[in-house]
Amino acid sequence: MARTKPASGDAADQRILAAAANLYAEHGFDVAPARIARAARVTPAALARRYPEADALRKGVFAWRFGARWKAAWSDLLVDRRLPLEQRLARFYVEYRGNIDRTGGRLWTRAGLLGMHREQDFSSTLVERILGPIARELRHEAGVGARAPRRISAREEELVQVLHGAISFPHTRAHIFDMRVRGTLRQIVPMMVRVWLPGAIAEMRRLHAR
């Protein structure tokens, strides 16, 4: 989850957002503004002028950390049938999960526990950008795409979530549970894709054989 610069380009604002992100990630969203100001090397008054309410600062942090995370090239990659589906999925998830650090991972998890992903309709974005395209490519791989309805079913979404969730778990282990992960993303992700894909193709055929 790579950092992006705030729109203002203001150095003090960048320090505020970075300090808030780090403190929120480690201590939750109830960190006192004075503590954030101290970590950002600004006065509490300067912080209050930029972010008069805690919610405004939280939104600023999320826009900075996650607003520019998605790359348009990933949408093209997922549907590029010149490449084998296994290769596309491995490459996509190595890149997609590869820019997650401890701060980003913990922020994202804390936000989810507070229901912030639901408020921002994160599920719809996930289906539109990742689960839906992968499910359609999986249909094609399984040879059922021509007779399948355009709309992806809930079962098909869950079938893709099996892979999506599995690939996220090494970061959960590393950044949330402080557990050791044996191997790099470039080693682990292709392995997960190879394990998942044959079973997913068989399950997709079963779903459309009813």
Average pLDDT, the chain: 90
Q: Which residue has the tokens 């999925």?
A: 89
Query: What pLDDT shows up at residue 99?
Result: 81
Q: Is 11 exposed, middle or buried (0-12, 13-18, 19+ CB in 10 A)?
A: exposed
Domain parsing of the chain, residue ranges: 11-65, 70-208
Q: How many CB atoms lie within 10 A of CB 46?
A: 15
Contact predicate 65/3, CB 8 Å: yes
Q: State in words which class domain 11-65 has.
A: mainly alpha
Q: Dump pLDDT digits (tens) for 76-87.
A: 999 999 999 999
What is the share, in percent, of the chain residues with pLDDT greater than 70?
A: 94
Q: Dump pLDDT digits (tens) for 81-124.
A: 999 999 999 999 999 998 889 999 999 898 888 887 776 667 78
For every residue of 67-98, which 3-state class applies, written as one string?
CCCCCHHHHHHHCCCCCCHHHHHHHHHHHHHH
Q: Dump pLDDT digits (tens) for 178-208.
A: 999 999 999 999 999 999 999 999 999 999 9
What the block records as the tokens of 90 is: 């491995």
The distance from CA 153 to its chain's CA centroid, rounded to whole angstroms, is 22
